[in-house]
Amino acid sequence: MSDILDRIIAVKREEIAAAMRSAPLEALKLEASARDLRDFVGALRAKQAAGHAAVIAEVKKASPSKGVLREHFVPADIARSYAAHGAACLSVLTDEQFFQGSVRYLEEARAACTLPVLRKDFIVDAYQILEARAMGADAILLIAAALDTPLMQDLEAYAHSLGLAVLVEVHDRDEMEQALTLKTPLLGINNRNLRTFETSIQTTLDMLDMIPPERIVVTESGILSRTDVDTMRAANVNAFLVGEAFMRADQPGEELARMFF
């Protein structure tokens, strides 16, 4: 694990311990049971079946590598804009310390539209998955670089037991082999190296030979232009997770439409 990833995971474990003291499991289970679910995988497949790019549009204020991406940050407005311009799903950062995210942002974004929502965070414990369900998320992210295979399998099984979709994220071929042991159809390839924060969309292209046709490849990070989109679609990669390009635009939804449709 990289230094930054090590630091993030250490903070997560502290946050989980504090959260478990303030919101015990039984209370969270009650909240989770009251939430409806939206079909995250189905929304992606529907876009692809119609011949369109399936875009997971990200609601992200900041990142450790780029700082603040968007000063005027209103999650509900951003979500509505994405929904109106063809997004399949949303991704909302809930990590506070490193990405200036918030659980409240996820709740506001989901309430503003009908799109399924991914909780974008560093999941290392089943408690966070129950938290995700309770806050209204429809999917979670599992990052292979932060988890060993048995733990990743256990976390996936728990997420699926709650009805949540799982996007597993990898950056290299070893992590892809690990990810392919999971049942989820959603394989995210992060073009950003979490150890160096360097980005190359070639990362996705170099791993396509490993992936069975029934899986959905989601290319993540570094998709900044229509040219990048065309490069991916020419390689039959039709699902995208994009944040920075949209967040830096005056109108995020219009930028989504310009890049993809």
Tokens matching residue 223: 């998709």
Q: Please confirm, yes or no, whether 220 is among the known catalytic residues.
A: yes
Beta strands 67-68 and 89-93 are: unpaired
C-alpha distances out from residue 172 to 6, 20, 48, Å? 18, 34, 25
Catalytic residue among 120, 175, 238, 244: 120
The residue count for the chain: 261
Catalytic residue among 107, 108, 131, 169: 169
Catalytic residue among 15, 58, 108, 175: 58
Catalytic residue among 221, 238, 244, 255: 221
Helix (H, G, I), strand (E, B) or coil at 157: helix
Catalytic residue among 15, 60, 61, 244: 60
Q: Please confirm, yes or no, whether 190 is among the known catalytic residues.
A: yes
Q: Please confirm, yes or no, whether 61 is among the known catalytic residues.
A: no
- HEC assignment per residue over 20-70: HHHCCHHHHHHHHHCCCCCCHHHHHHHHHHCCCCEEEEEECCEECCCEECC
Closest alpha carbon to 129 in 105, 104, 154, 110: 154
Closest alpha carbon to 90 in 98, 100, 77: 77
Q: Please confirm, yes or no, whether 131 is among the known catalytic residues.
A: no
The one-letter amino acid code at 121 reads D
Catalytic residue among 63, 81, 91, 190: 190
Catalytic residue among 15, 175, 220, 244: 220
Q: Please confirm, yes or no, whether 12 is among the known catalytic residues.
A: no
Active site residues: 58, 60, 120, 169, 190, 220-221
